[in-house]
């Protein structure tokens, strides 16, 4: 779906049409985060099984994780990680529960000779959204397929526990076609966290406890964004993660140094966008901060109209669904 800002125009096509829908000089912002196989299983000393989700590292040898257990867990307990190939390192890798934290997460001490990425590769499965149903112990062939499909073609910076799904539409050939069209790409990394799936439960949107995510914006991207703003060129993030990353930049950011930070920015209708002029995004879950962000760009009533139109045309929603391109006014 292609929706124009400032008009009622709506058209339909495919993502392969993107080079014809953009203008030379446009800047696409892409998130190169790589999804970790963050879902894991562990065994208690009693033999009971635990389902877990790796969230992030907390310094040397410590993780923040979510754990699901049939019984009560306690600090000091040790869990044995279950490998995809059990004979590989059976019993060698363990988690020691250190402290239960806010939101039901646990801080754990990792006992393993492997670093985080290598360990998760051995014990983990891809953390697909809950509406994509998988066994707690997915078949190896299915998980290998998930590891390939739930990853953008430009993913290179490991750390996410969810994919920046608007980027899943891109292929190497499309990136080449965009470059030939004269569209520039600004790269950044925002490691998508599990909070991206958290529904809004507060009565007022501004009371929603927004999750925090780590982001890295290279100096080259900062300079390109500053140049594009000065020249009034169109900056079009691909995905809500890119919008949050660039709109979180300090007003006085140093464009000659990489910017590293965490952001818990909640974007809702009334937000004053400093960089974002358009957006490519998927169709999102109701009562989500993702829909609030898109509504901030289109207006809430306009977004409702577009979603009703998408439903009538039976477009696919959510992570593996279709895309919407919100096109800003032309600069020509």
Domain extent listing, the chain: 2-35+152-327, 39-124
Q: Tell me the fold of 39-124.
A: Thrombin, subunit H (2.40.10)
**pLDDT tens across the length of the chain (332 residues):** 999 998 999 999 999 999 999 999 999 999 999 999 999 999 998 889 999 999 999 888 999 999 988 888 999 999 999 988 766 666 689 999 999 987 778 999 999 999 999 999 999 999 988 778 776 666 778 888 899 999 999 999 999 999 999 999 999 999 999 999 999 999 999 999 776 666 666 667 676 566 778 999 999 999 999 999 999 999 999 999 999 999 999 999 999 999 999 998 889 999 999 999 999 999 998 888 899 999 999 999 999 999 999 999 999 998 899 999 999 988 76
End-to-end Cα separation, the chain, in angstroms: 22
- Bridge partners of 125, per DSSP, are 39
Is residue 31 within 8 A of residue 242, CB to CB? The reply is: yes
| pTM listed for this prediction | 0.91
Taking the C-alpha atoms of residue 326 and residue 285, their distance in angstroms, rounded to an integer, is 18
Q: Tell me the fold of 2-35+152-327.
A: QueA-like (3.40.1780)
Instruction: Pull the structure tokens for residue 47.
Output: 């033999």
């Amino acid at each position: 779906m292609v929706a124009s800002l400032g008009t009622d125009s709506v058209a339909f096509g495919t993502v392969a049409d993107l080079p014809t829908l953009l203008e030379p000089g446009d800047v696409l912002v892409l998130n190169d985060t790589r999804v970790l196989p963050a879902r894991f299983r562990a065994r208690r000393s009693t033999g009971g099984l635990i389902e877990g989700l790796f969230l992030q590292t907390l310094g040397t040898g410590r993780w923040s994780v979510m754990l699901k257990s049939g019984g009560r867990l306690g600090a000091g307990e040790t869990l044995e990680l279950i490998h995809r190939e059990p004979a590989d390192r059976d019993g060698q890798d363990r988690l020691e529960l250190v402290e239960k934290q806010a939101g039901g997460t646990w801080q754990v001490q990792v006992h393993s000779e492997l670093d985080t990425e290598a360990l998760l590769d051995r014990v983990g499965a891809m953390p697909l959204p809950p509406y994509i149903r998988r066994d707690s112990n997915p078949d190896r062939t299915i998980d290998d397929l998930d590891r390939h499909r739930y990853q953008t073609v430009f993913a290179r910076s490991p750390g996410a526990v969810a994919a920046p799904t608007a980027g899943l539409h891109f292929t190497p050939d499309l990136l080449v076609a965009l470059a030939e069209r004269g569209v520039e790409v600004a790269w950044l990394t925002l490691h998508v966290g599990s909070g991206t799936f958290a529904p809004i439960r507060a009565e007022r949107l501004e009371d929603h406890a927004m999750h925090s995510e780590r982001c890295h914006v290279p100096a080259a991207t900062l300079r390109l964004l500053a140049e594009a703003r000065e020249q009034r060129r169109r900056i079009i993030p691909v995905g809500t993660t890119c919008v949050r990353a660039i709109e979180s930049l300090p007003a006085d950011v140093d464009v000659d140094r990489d910017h590293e930070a965490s952001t818990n920015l909640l974007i809702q209708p009334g937000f004053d966008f400093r960089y974002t002029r358009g957006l490519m995004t998927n169709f999102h879950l109701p009562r989500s901060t993702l829909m609030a962000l898109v509504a901030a760009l289109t207006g809430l009533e306009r977004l409702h109209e577009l979603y009703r139109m998408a439903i009538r045309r039976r477009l696919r929603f959510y992570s593996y669904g279709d895309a919407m391109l919100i096109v800003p006014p032309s600069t020509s």
